[in-house]
Amino acid sequence: MTEIDFLNWVRGPGFQIATIIFVAGVLIRIFEIILLGRKANLAEAKGSEMSSGLRTIVTRSVPQADSFKRSTFTIVTGYIFHIGLFVTIFLYAPHILLIKDIVGISWPALPTPVVDAFAVISIISLLAILIHRFSNKVLHYLTNFEDLLVWFVTIAPLVTGYIAFHRIGFTAPTLLGIHILSVEILMIVFPFTKLMHAFTLFMARWYNGAISGYRGVES
Amino acid sequence: MTNKFDDKNKTLGDTLRSRGISRRSFLKFCAATASMMALPPAMIPKVAHALENAKRPSVIWLSFQECTGCTESLTRSHSATIENLIFDSISLDYHHTLQAASGHAAEAAREAAMEENHGNYILVVDGSIPMDNPGYSTIAGISNYDMLMDTAKGAAAIIAVGTCATYGGIPHAKPNPTGAVSVGDLIKDKPIINVPGCPPIPVVITGVVTHFLTFGTIPELDHIGRPKVFYGQSIHDRCYRRPFYDKGLFAETFDDEGAQKGWCLFKLGCKGPTTYNACATTKWNNGTSFPIEAGHPCIGCSEPDFWDGGGFYKALSMPTENITQTALYTAAGAAAVGVAAGALNRAKKNAATKAHPNTTIEDLEK
């Protein structure tokens, strides 16, 4: 297999396999969760479920003062790498082209050096998160294999993408192929791990808000 | 007119002088060739000396499943360049497009050259070799495979010219109806220099021949058999439009503002980032320009399977298959499976609820 064969495979059948597993995995899990249903609440509703649910989706994005004080490092680095991921995935011109090719919609990109800077910041914050995970005794105790796997498949596309853009070490087709492959691994691992939070997060927040709304209390 | 014997014993220097090439322009050519091959200036006299005194080497050129574009590239330069004079000055003993002889006489010339120069001739091949059925491509009733294997036996080195000979090229593109393979797929016991391109740059072909004449060895090759001096850098890394890529300024169509301003052609499908060739430096038509300079994206023709990269106008970051369709079909299937799984889960939950024994006050008071 030549490096161009490899590149063509990850751009073709490899991407197809990853898409099938990603889409099927995510949808089946979401359907299962929604269809599980809840017992009918026989108590009288004291407020709106919907408005409280929707509000909570937004308000939970802002950390509360006491929890921010308690876990400043986790929250700050968490925010940095999530914003960095968003910028590198959705505001880099070649990625927008990929999305346009699949979904049909596109938007303006950020200048490449800006995206590059965001990628570096994300990589640094993810490394800091790993160091923190091992240096903090409680976090270390709670860490299992899945946590490390999820960390690895998240940082891998960032690192391989950075290397591919700057063309360090190997030849360009190999570097680009490895980058695309790392994304495919992320897509395959996604539905079966806590990475699913990217979708379930909103459902969970809405539900928390909805329970409070029904009871007429602040969420 | 010189007789055949004299002609064979003429050195390259003699031939060039008889063609009216001055010493000055010959040395200029040597200097240019040396710098192109990344040799130190001290090597220029060596190149000149070796070329001047080189006996015309016998070259057998075999054309298999090809379009003759590689030969055209070499011979159709718009003026008589020193490169094609050098090429004229090798003893091209067999080339079925260029030779006057045909039929049995042509094959006799090939056999004679093979016998006379056994172990010393250079074999040049353009075109791929069909392996599904030998009848797909034959010359004088001889299958391409038989002719290649037979002629390769006595060759000092093999130069595979063009992407068909080096990596299978267009005949090898999916679904590869003839079972086309490259020279390197079949021959493992001879040095093979791959000079891919569709077609390859003429000076790259002559550069490889010059290297062989000067040093008597094959140039340093990369991992897929290409001379590093010509294929060591990607089009992207040497592209004059590279600053626009770095800044994120792209032409979106062939006639928009970006295209007029000469911005990067990545979005229009340019394969420059993954293509290794000398186009951006040596350029074409006597250094006039190269495809990207003419406003067209690189199609990646010096790389294996460039024909199967999902389309020339599809950007490198786009998938080669129809992922929209895959995603939609998968989503439809997954929705059905999800609903079925949900129904099963519900049934399980209801069954569990039913099976759960109710505890009454009497039970507790027991």
Q: pLDDT per residue over A96-153, tens digit each? A: 999 999 999 999 999 889 999 999 999 999 999 999 999 999 999 999 999 999 999 9
Positions in chain A short of pLDDT 70: none
* Helix, strand or coil, per DSSP, at residue B309: coil
pLDDT of residue B6 exceeding 60, the answer is no
pLDDT of residue B207 exceeding 90, the answer is no
Of A50-64, B138-152, B201-215, the poorest mean pLDDT is in B201-215
Judging by beta carbons within 10 Å of its beta carbon (0-12, 13-18, 19+), is residue A90 exposed, middle or buried? middle
- What is the pLDDT at residue A18? 97
d(CA B31, CA B41): 7
| Cβ of residue A91 closer than 8 Å to a chain B Cβ | no
pLDDT of residue B220 exceeding 80, the answer is yes
- What is the pLDDT at residue B128? 96
Confidence of residue B85 (pLDDT cuts 50, 70, 90): low
Contact status, residue B347 vs residue A130, Cβ threshold 8 Å: no
Show the tokens assigned to B240.
């004059």
d(CA B229, CA B286): 19
pLDDT of residue B350 exceeding 90, the answer is no
**Which residues make Cβ contacts (< 8 Å) with residue A134, sequence separation at least 6?**
A140, A143
- What is the pLDDT at residue B3? 43
Confidence of residue B87 (pLDDT cuts 50, 70, 90): low
Question: In whole numbers, what is the pLDDT of chain B averaged over residues?
Answer: 87
CATH ID of A3-35+65-195, from 1.20.950.20, 1.20.20.10, 1.20.1530.20, 3.40.50.1820: 1.20.950.20
Specify the higher pLDDT residue, A178 or B75. A178
Which domains are seen in chain B, by residue range? 56-230 (3.40.50.700), 235-308 (4.10.480.10)
Taken as a whole, chain B contains a residue count of 366
| Cβ of residue A57 closer than 8 Å to a chain B Cβ | no
- What is the pLDDT at residue B79? 54
Candidates B256, B249, B318, B258; CA nearest to A96 is B318
- What is the pLDDT at residue B77? 60
Dihedral sign, CA of A104, A105, A107, A112? Answer: negative
| Closest CA in chain A for residue B328 | A23
pLDDT of residue B53 exceeding 90, the answer is no
Identify all chain A residues contacting B310, using CB atoms and an 8 Å cutoff. Answer: 8, 11-12
Candidates B66, B71, B209, B196; CA nearest to B130 is B66
> Residue B356: left if φ>0, alpha if ψ -120 to 50, beta else—which one?
beta
**What does the pLDDT average to over B211-224?**
85
The set of long-range contacts for B242-246, using a CB threshold of 8 Å and a minimum separation of 24, is B245/A112, B246/A112, B246/A113
Q: Do B274 and A102 touch (CB under 8 A)?
A: no
* Helix, strand or coil, per DSSP, at residue B189: coil
Q: Which of residues 130-189 of A touch B (CB under 8 A)?
A: 167, 171-173, 176
- What is the pLDDT at residue A91? 95
Domain boundaries, chain A: 3-35+65-195
Candidates B54, B75, B60; CA nearest to B8 is B54
**What does the pLDDT average to over B44-65?**
84
Contact status, residue A51 vs residue A59, Cβ threshold 8 Å: no
d(CA B237, CA A172): 10
Buried b (16+ CB within 10 A) or exposed e, B31-65: bbbbebbebeeebbeebbebbbebebbbbbbbbbb
Shortest distance between the Cα of A160 and any Cα of chain B, in A, equals 14
* Helix, strand or coil, per DSSP, at residue B86: helix
Confidence of residue B4 (pLDDT cuts 50, 70, 90): very low
Confidence of residue B94 (pLDDT cuts 50, 70, 90): confident
d(CA A4, CA B299): 13
Interface-testing mutation among A27, A33, A165, with chain B (most B C-beta atoms within 10 A): A27
Contact status, residue B104 vs residue B140, Cβ threshold 8 Å: yes
Buried b (16+ CB within 10 A) or exposed e, A103-123: eeeeeebbebeebbebbebbb
Confidence of residue B5 (pLDDT cuts 50, 70, 90): very low
Interface-testing mutation among A31, A88, A181, with chain B (most B C-beta atoms within 10 A): A31
**What does the pLDDT average to over B201-212?**
82
Q: Do A94 and B315 touch (CB under 8 A)?
A: yes
Q: Do B324 and A102 touch (CB under 8 A)?
A: yes
Percentage of chain B lying above the pLDDT 90 cut:
51
Confidence of residue B257 (pLDDT cuts 50, 70, 90): very high
Interface-testing mutation among A5, A8, A160, with chain B (most B C-beta atoms within 10 A): A8
Q: Do B327 and A23 touch (CB under 8 A)?
A: yes
- What is the pLDDT at residue A206? 93
| Closest CA in chain A for residue B270 | A94
Which among B319, B323, B338 is the nearest to A28, CB-wise? B338
ipTM: 0.84
Candidates A96, A91, A79; CA nearest to A116 is A91
> pLDDT tens digits for B259-276?
999 999 999 999 999 999
In Å, what is the CA distance from B178 to each residue of B129, B130, B171, B302? 8, 5, 7, 21
Look up residue B11 and give its DSSP letter.
B
